[in-house]
Amino acid sequence: AAGCEVFTIDAGWYGQSDGNWHQQTGDWREKLGASFDGKMAVFAEEVRQAGLGFGLWMEPERFSTIVPVVHDHPDWFLQGDGGFFYADLAQPVVYEYMLNEIKRLVTTYQLAWIKIDFNFELGPARDELYAYYTAWYRIMDDLRTACPDLFIEGCASGGNRTDLVTLSHVDGHFLS
């Protein structure tokens, strides 16, 4: 009745360690003991039954130091700004991990919408930045190919990512 088409869950639904949402980024397992207590798929079905698409927020490019994949594969990550890490997407195994982790969420929750946020600066040298963005845009393109009904929203998070090239790899781009 309000004219909404999609219900999107924002930050805080993920991570299985102690700490706030900010410290959990990169652990895209559903949070247990809080939020939906492991039952977000049930809620997603309720949303669909109400006639809406279901969406999720995630920030796949930032990894906290407490995230299990960072501990299990430290060679997959590079130091970003603010004590966070980002994935070394030039490595094929890391590229596949990142793409498959996003696709896993799309499949698990039957997403109609995904908001890809970007809340920190990568901090690499210029040649590393070029290689990173070449791979990142390829992930977005591969995701669009694999999930053609998914709406991919880029989010600049206060202007951290406002380049026009991003818009050509997502369906919409939120500049705040």
Task: Please report which confidence band the pLDDT of residue 175 belongs to, taking 50, 70 and 90 as the band edges.
Answer: low
Q: What is the mean pLDDT of the chain?
A: 90
pTM tops 0.75, yes or no = yes
Determine phi and psi for 58, rounding to 5 degrees. Answer: -155, 160
pLDDT at 70 over 70: yes
Looking at residue 74, its pLDDT comes to 97
- Yes or no: say if 121 and 160 are a contact pair by the CB < 8 Å rule: yes
| Stretch (H or E) spanning 7 | strand 6-9
pLDDT tens by residue, 137-160: 999 999 999 999 999 998 877 667
Mean pLDDT of 36-55: 95
Looking at residue 140, its pLDDT comes to 96
Mean pLDDT of 59-85: 92
Q: How far, in Å, CA of 80 to CA of 42, rounded?
A: 36
Q: Which among 158, 135, 156, 10 has a CA at the least distance from the CA of 78? A: 135
Looking at residue 161, its pLDDT comes to 73
Residue 159: half-sphere exposure toward Cβ, Cα within 13 Å: 0
- Yes or no: say if 18 and 32 are a contact pair by the CB < 8 Å rule: no
The percentage of residues in the chain with a pLDDT greater than 70, rounded to a whole number, is 95
- What secondary structure, in 3-state letters, does 54-113 show? EEEEECCCCECCCCHHHHHCHHHEEECHHHCEEECCCCHHHHHHHHHHHHHHHHHCCCCE
> At which residue do the structure tokens 């997403």 appear?
111
* DSSP state at residue 31: P
> At which residue do the structure tokens 């700004």 appear?
81
- Yes or no: say if 132 and 122 are a contact pair by the CB < 8 Å rule: yes
pLDDT at 90 over 80: yes
Report the range of poorest mean pLDDT among 50-54, 72-76, 128-132: 128-132
